[in-house]
Chain A
């Protein structure tokens, strides 16, 4: 049943190559985060995406692969972003399979099979062959209007089990049913437009814990106006509760500071965003409660441990960047849904889009 739902709900909507749409603003990506073994805070992040932008007055569609990984607490992030020519990118709407050069995502026998070849370009430091089997039901499509002509849709699967291997900077680790996260986003918007978000998930340290949580807040660029907030709770395979908008409050406190500047990809972008200041908070707290006065509650307390950045060219201003801050850390989760209490700790990631 899960595999069938994933195949129907999570398929690609648009080709990854070919003629761009008239307004040149379509975006779509498949995003995976895999917990790496033997570390409190190690994650592999892989994002296969197609992004339209207007360059020199022409609408261009560009397929890209982002790969970021951090093996251990204290270890540095490695990663790269690779861009592909149209003839090297293959995908059909309605299917889940994607090929980007020598990298591929295949949907077979109820699992995603992700293979990453070491990039030929600079910083091709991550390689992998992983089977990612969804363990819980995906959400149906969620949609947020971003104003005139702007919209973003997503499907989320917060818990998959990942088996295979990952090579990070020359070190190979084996995955044996490690927990993983997946989302699929698509829509029409411009990077650098009036948009920002915080998006996170928590994986319990003890995989027997049946609870999975995801939270998201989408705001205008200055974070003065919230467009949508949600916190989703699964119990076992089923989505048990969605807290929405006024039921959810996100509080960002402090500033995460590191001794060295974070890894920024593409690496050339670091020349434009030097220094250690990133605006990533030290803590993100999510408080959710039943607006109708019921007893359902959720609290997530995330503490940032490290971060890396993806720098995207603004579609709006040719001399600005949008930064996707990928933060790893620990989270404490507690609450009650349908009169059942939960309380667990786990590894977590939060993505903060700014710019």
Chain B
């Protein structure tokens, strides 16, 4: 049976960062410079929280609950975001996405997300990875 999307998410997220760093290094560098020492905590459904940061020039995705900005969303909400069915603002307004943190740090996170998206749109391999995420998981 295929792995659930929430369970597979950390592995795909690590792979996505690796692709961003290798295929669009300009965007990865901008992401690193924007986030600085900040850590983002992502909790997808009931899975363990993931702490995402960039340290020593590489992305780190580990199971940990402490960070500067915390995101909580379900797998359907993540799918809806990736499908462009809702925007970040719409997901927050609909209580499908919770973003917690100091305002200036949340704004830095949103800047980082935009950088990520611009990199993702310029990285065909990331699109393929996303397609595999949708087809190989449930």
0 or 1 for each of B11-33: is its CB under 8 Å from A? (1 = yes): 00000000000011111001000
Which of A53, A121, A264, A270 meets B127, CB within 8 Å?
A: A121
A319 to B81, CA, bound (A): 19
> Is B131 in contact with A318, judged by CB distance below 8 angstroms?
no
> Is B127 in contact with A318, judged by CB distance below 8 angstroms?
no
Q: Which of B97-134 contact A (CB under 8 A)?
A: 113-115, 117-118, 120-124, 127-128, 130-131, 134
Q: Please judge, given known A-B contacts A55-B24, A318-B118, A319-B114, whether A270 and B87 are in contact too, CB under 8 Å.
A: yes
Q: Which of A309-355 contact B (CB under 8 A)?
A: 311, 313, 318-321
> Is A268 in contact with B23, judged by CB distance below 8 angstroms?
no
Q: How many whole Å from B58's CB to the nearest CB in chain A?
A: 16
> Is A55 in contact with B23, judged by CB distance below 8 angstroms?
yes
B131 contact set on A, CB distance < 8 A: 120-122
Query: With an 8 A cutoff between CB atoms, is A269 at the interface?
Result: yes
Interface size on A, residues (CB 8 A): 24
Query: With an 8 A cutoff between CB atoms, is A271 at the interface?
Result: yes
A313 contact set on B, CB distance < 8 A: 118, 121-122
Q: How many whole Å from B126's CB to the nearest CB in chain A?
A: 9
State the majority secondary structure of interface residues on B. Answer: helix
Q: Which chain B residue shows the least CB distance to A266? A: B121
Q: How many whole Å from B16's CB to the nearest CB in chain A?
A: 12
Query: With an 8 A cutoff between CB atoms, is A196 at the interface?
Result: no
Query: With an 8 A cutoff between CB atoms, is B82 at the interface?
Result: yes
Query: With an 8 A cutoff between CB atoms, is A83 at the interface?
Result: yes
> Is A268 in contact with B117, judged by CB distance below 8 angstroms?
yes
Q: Please judge, given known A-B contacts A55-B24, A122-B131, whether A271 and B122 are in contact too, CB under 8 Å.
A: no
A267 to B82, CA, bound (A): 7
> Is B122 in contact with A272, judged by CB distance below 8 angstroms?
no
Q: Which of B58-107 contact A (CB under 8 A)?
A: 81-85, 87-90
Q: Which of A264, A269, A318 has the most CB of B within 10 A?
A: A318
Query: With an 8 A cutoff between CB atoms, is A169 at the interface?
Result: no
A120 to B131, CA, bound (A): 8
State the majority secondary structure of interface residues on A. Answer: mixed
Which of B27, B87, B134 meets A122, CB within 8 Å?
A: B134
Which of A120, A267, A274, A318 meets B83, CB within 8 Å?
A: A267
Q: Which of A50-68 contact B (CB under 8 A)?
A: 53, 55-56, 62
Query: With an 8 A cutoff between CB atoms, is A110 at the interface?
Result: no
> Is A62 in contact with B117, judged by CB distance below 8 angstroms?
no
Query: With an 8 A cutoff between CB atoms, is A123 at the interface?
Result: yes
Q: Which of A269-314 contact B (CB under 8 A)?
A: 269-272, 274, 311, 313
A123 to B79, CA, bound (A): 12
Q: Please judge, given known A-B contacts A121-B127, A122-B83, A274-B87, whether A268 and B120 are in contact too, CB under 8 Å.
A: yes
Q: How many whole Å from B130's CB to the nearest CB in chain A?
A: 7
> Is A268 in contact with B114, judged by CB distance below 8 angstroms?
no
> Is B114 in contact with A272, judged by CB distance below 8 angstroms?
yes
Q: Please judge, given known A-B contacts A56-B23, A319-B114, A319-B115, whether A268 and B84 are in contact too, CB under 8 Å.
A: yes
A264 to B83, CA, bound (A): 10
A55 to B22, CA, bound (A): 11
User: Can you name 19 A-B pairs with beta carbons within 8 Å?
Assistant: A53-B122, A55-B23, A62-B124, A121-B127, A121-B128, A121-B131, A121-B134, A122-B82, A264-B84, A266-B84, A267-B83, A267-B85, A268-B82, A268-B121, A269-B117, A272-B118, A313-B121, A318-B118, A319-B114
Interface residues of B (CB under 8 A from A): 23-27, 30, 81-85, 87-90, 113-115, 117-118, 120-124, 127-128, 130-131, 134-135
Q: Which 9 A-B pairs have the closest CB atoms?
A: A267-B84, A270-B84, A121-B131, A274-B87, A83-B124, A313-B122, A319-B118, A56-B25, A313-B121
